[in-house]
Every structure is written in structure tokens, then in C-alpha cells.
Amino acid sequence: MMSAKQLHFCPLESKSREKEAGTLKHQISGIYVVMVVGNQGMITLTGLSSHLHTPMYYFLSNLSFIDLCQSTVITPKMLVSFVTEKNVISYPECLTQLYFFLLFIIAESYMLAKVAYDSYVAICNPLLYNAIVSYYSIYFNKFLALVYSSFNVLMSALTILISYIFSLYKTFHIHSTEGRSKAFSTCSSHIPAVAVFYGSATFMYLQSSSVSPWTKGLI
């Protein structure tokens, strides 16, 4: 349940489950410790041993790091709740947990895809493994950076556009001249900053390819 004043989530529990909660606390603690030691051991071993500096172990060490971060987002807070017997989490904390948990879930899904492709190349094209993996890593990283940056830019631009459309629509329906003037002054202070940011980026990246890189740098 959520308190409207304090914005806290309070999961409901029955007294009959207090004994089960104690057992669950020890189980989660043990699993978390094993997971931390195992993943940290994989990361350390891969970094220290020169024989493990291969693409496969590089992917596995990154996967261990992501798995460690993903578990650390939620488990420590859960264990603290068991110890203090205050099973309460604020709304900002809950939202932060959800954000980072989903972030690491997405990162792990991409990393698992790369591990699967690495295994496929190692089995089906062992003689061309190094060349294919190097080529794939370069272009996959470029593609991933392009998709990620495009998604963020488009989402932010869409949010700005929709916000200003509704703001202008509401402004034009204000009957008083003073209120309309105040609303326009609020928007006018933001629009130049948006225009300069997106205008300069558009001019830099969408101009003709005949422009030299040195000229682009000056712009």
C-alpha cells in the first residue's frame, strides 16, 4: 500500500509469515554472498590472467559485472528491511531501483546476445574467429551507440514537442491578457535554448559530406 502524504510503499504481511521471513532472510543472504564472490572472482581472474584475455572471457567478465550490479540494486535493500523489520520503501527509492534494475536487465540481454554470437562464430567458423569477432565488435558497438543515441534524442525531442503543443494550446485558450502574456513569457525563455541546442546539432550532423572535418570542428 502507498501513503499519499509520505509516498511510501508498505508491502502487507501477515504475522503467520514472520517465521518464513526469517528463513528467507538467511537463504537470500547466502545466495547473495555466493553470487558476489563468484562474479567478483570471475572479474578478478579474467583481469589478472593474461591467458584469459580472449573475447569469450571478456564477455563473461562483463556479464558477471552486469549480474553483480543487477542483484545489488535490490538485494541489499531487501536484507536491510529484514534486519530492521521496517518493510518500507519510499517512492523515489522504488523508482530508482526499478530504473537501474531494468537498465541492467537490458544490458544483460544484449550481452547474452553477444555471447551467443561469439559461441556461434567459434563453432561454425573457427578459422575466421578473430577476424569476424573484431569486425562484428566494431560495427555492433557503432550500431548500438547509434540506436541508443537516436532513441534518447528522439524521445527527448518528442517530449519537448508534445509539451509545447499542449502548452501553446492551453495558452491560446486563456481569456485574460495578463495570464496569456505570462504564459508566453514562460515559454519564450525556454524556446531559444531548445532552438540553439537542436539547431546546432542538426546543422553539424546533417550538412553535406563535402564539408571538411576541420570545418565541422570549427562549427
Residues of the domain holding 118: 1-124
Number of structural domains (the chain) is: 1
Residue 134 belongs to some domain of the structure: no
Residue 129 belongs to some domain of the structure: no
Residue 147 belongs to some domain of the structure: no
CATH number, domain with residue 112: 1.20.1070.10
Residue 168 belongs to some domain of the structure: no
Q: What is the DSSP string of 23-62?
A: HHHHHHHHHHHHHHHHHHHHHHHHHH-GGG-SHHHHHHHH
SS3 content of the chain, % helix, strand, coil (to 5): 85, 0, 15
User: Is the pLDDT at 6 greater than 70, yes or no?
Assistant: no
pLDDT single digits (tens) 174-201: 777 777 777 777 777 677 777 777 777 6
Residue in 175, 56, 208 with CA at minimum distance from that of residue 123: 56
Report the percentage of the chain scoring pLDDT > 70: 77
Half-sphere exposure of 186 (CA within 13 A, CB side): 12
Residue 88 belongs to some domain of the structure: yes
Residue 174 belongs to some domain of the structure: no
Residue 110 belongs to some domain of the structure: yes
Q: pLDDT-derived band of residue 1, with 50, 70 and 90 as boundaries?
A: very low
Residue 137 belongs to some domain of the structure: no
pLDDT single digits (tens) 131-168: 776 676 667 667 777 777 777 778 888 888 888 888 87
pLDDT single digits (tens) 95-104: 888 888 888 8
Cell of 150: 537516436
- pTM score: 0.57
Determine the pLDDT at residue 178.
79
